[in-house]
Amino acid sequence: MKLFKIGYGLTGLILLICTVITGSYGLSKVNQEIYKKAISLETDMEKMGFPEFFLADYKVRFYNGDCDYVVKGEDIVKQDPLLDVFVGTTIEAEGEYQVLLPTYEKFSALFDLLDAAGTVSQGMSEGSMVFTQNTYNENAHAASIWHEAFHAWQASRWQDDIDALMRRVNLGEEESREDIIVREADADTKAAALFREEMEFLKKAYHEEGEEKKEYVLKALSLADNRRKILSDSANAMEFYLENLEGSARYVESLAYRILEGEKAWQNHYLGEFHYEEGSSKYYYMGMLKGLLLDQTAEGWQRKFSLAEGFDGLLKGVCQEE
């Protein structure tokens, strides 16, 4: 019995030691690597040309469910969590805009239960998620950092414009922007049909060259104008917000992913998702595609990009030039 007790106690002690030794403390290496990967894109992303947009300027908060690990450069600081998130976002803290996103482990672990709860499906239609559990990886997480960093960049430059834009939206207390889109834009069958048509023209434009490309773009933009005339000011403001602010962030994210994961994966996950469905996600892709069209037609457009005219204004300018 004595021997058993010693063996039993020893087993517990060994298991405890093994548990402690194999556990990860602080920000895991995986997340540190993800941050490094994201930062390593700085030079490539700078070439994009959004003025003074550097990831290194923004603190990145990794939320692990219990605390935030705030990373900037080589420094990692543990802090109390600011906000419970299961997808990335931008947050104002310490007098600046910061990137906040769940740790890779937390996000991966949540994927299956989000699937079970239908949240992935919901997240995809809202545009907040691009991947499913099987396709999400560390590169996708690094690309999300760029997406949120771009929102931080937008907020630091255009916060007043964004606020003015959102004031035009009839957002009830309990409502999300998803509700506005579903209620005020998707519900209008005529506007939805115009949107579908606009998408088709933009897709064609992306694959065409020269004058035909411009023609398709102009047709698409004219359909967009028609749609705006049908929709309420609230719906127009919401659409503008989603297409230009979220769409440009998706554009940035997709380029980061393209560099990290390669052309084929980029085409699968970003270009392949361009289709009409109810909810906000279509605007993310619409904005991204317009950004890609501007890449094809107007090098350096990023320097001119603003909320005053958005993607459509820039495209119209380029296509009507000659």
Structure tokens that stand for 298 in this block: 């107007």
Structure tokens that stand for 50 in this block: 């959004």
Q: How many residues comprise the chain?
A: 322
Q: How far is the CB of 12 from another protein (least distance, A)?
A: 5
Q: How far is the CB of 108 from another protein (least distance, A)?
A: 9
User: Cβ closer to another protein: 85 or 162?
Assistant: 85
Q: How far is the CB of 130 from another protein (least distance, A)?
A: 12
* Cα–Cα separations (whole angstroms), residue 306 to 118, 186, 286, 310: 35, 26, 17, 6
User: Cβ closer to another protein: 15 or 77?
Assistant: 15
Give the phi and the psi of residue 275 in degrees, each rounded to 5. Answer: -150, 160
User: Cβ closer to another protein: 6 or 109?
Assistant: 109
* 231 close to 191: Cβ distance less than 8 angstroms: yes
Q: How far is the CB of 134 from another protein (least distance, A)?
A: 6
- Sequence-distant (≥ 6) Cβ neighbours of residue 182 within 8 angstroms: 278, 279
User: Cβ closer to another protein: 15 or 230?
Assistant: 15
Residue numbers at the binding site for another protein (CB under 8 A) = 11-12, 15-16, 18-19, 22-24, 65, 84, 86, 109-110, 112-113, 115-117, 120-121, 124, 132-134
Structure tokens that stand for 152 in this block: 């931080």
Spatial separation of the C-alpha atoms in residues 202 and 274, rounded to whole Å: 10
Q: How far is the CB of 126 from another protein (least distance, A)?
A: 12
User: Cβ closer to another protein: 116 or 308?
Assistant: 116
